[in-house]
């Protein structure tokens, strides 16, 4: 059976990718399960660049198909910040309660039409023959006026979607996977992998 190594240490992302690739004839391993322990410097200027940096770094350590993702929040009113700096915004160790409140403060008094935002996810794959594939997807929404919900992670409590009229922290994992940037990008990558005979 072919092996896919997903370049993440995040258990939630592993669960999601296993669910989405469940009907493919592949074994999906985390970096740790594949025995890869490397520090990767994500210094790309775009989500796609960062996903490729991670996938290439792990691909140099294993003989398998390697997938990596990079994601973040773009707030239009803040010139698309925090963008590729989403995890490092206001410092890597700063809580999301603080990060989220800082964004709400910056948008205080701003009308809903100007509060548009999106989560973006890029997925890169490096195949054993060196071929590289890319997929990117987004979920459009807006920054609410206050945090809501206890599901999800990161910026979910302040990111609202019109389809449900609530924050993505108020959705069930199934509801979120169906519409999320990561779910969409993973499904697009799966199509490409299938076209490449994986």
**Shortest Å, Cβ 96 to ligand IMP:** 7
Residues at the site binding ligand IMP, with contacts judged by CB under 6 A: 69-73, 86-87, 119, 152-156, 180
Given the complex with ligand IMP, which of 10 and 196 has the nearer CB atom?
10
Least CB distance from residue 25 to ligand IMP, whole Å? 27
| Active-site annotation, residues | 70
117, 141 contact by CB (below 8 A)? yes
CB-nearest residue to ligand IMP? 154
Distance of CA 27 to the CA centre of its chain: 21
Return the H-helix or E-strand segment holding 160: strand 159-161
Query: Which CB, 71 or 136, lies closer to ligand IMP?
Result: 71
Q: Between 126 and 156, name the residue whose CB sits nearer to ligand IMP.
A: 156
């Amino acid at each position: 059976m072919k092996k896919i190594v997903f370049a993440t240490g995040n258990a939630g992302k592993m669960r999601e990718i296993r669910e989405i690739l469940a009907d493919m004839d592949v074994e999906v391993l985390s970096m740790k399960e594949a025995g890869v322990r490397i520090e990767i410097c994500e210094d790309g200027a775009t989500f796609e660049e960062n996903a490729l940096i991670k996938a290439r770094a792990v691909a140099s350590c294993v003989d398998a198909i390697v997938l990596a993702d990079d994601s973040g929040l773009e707030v239009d009113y803040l010139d698309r910040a925090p963008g590729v700096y989403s995890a490092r915004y206001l410092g890597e160790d700063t809580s999301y309660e603080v990060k989220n409140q800082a964004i709400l403060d910056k948008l205080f008094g701003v009308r809903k039409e100007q509060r548009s935002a999106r989560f973006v996810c890029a997925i890169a794959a490096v195949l054993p023959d060196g071929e590289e594939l890319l997929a990117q997807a987004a979920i459009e929404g807006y920054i609410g006026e206050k945090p809501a919900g206890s599901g999800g992670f990161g910026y979910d409590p302040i990111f609202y979607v019109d389809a449900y009229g609530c924050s993505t922290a108020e959705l069930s994992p199934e509801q979120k996977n169906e519409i999320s940037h990561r779910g969409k990008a993973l499904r697009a990558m799966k199509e490409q992998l299938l076209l490449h005979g994986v």
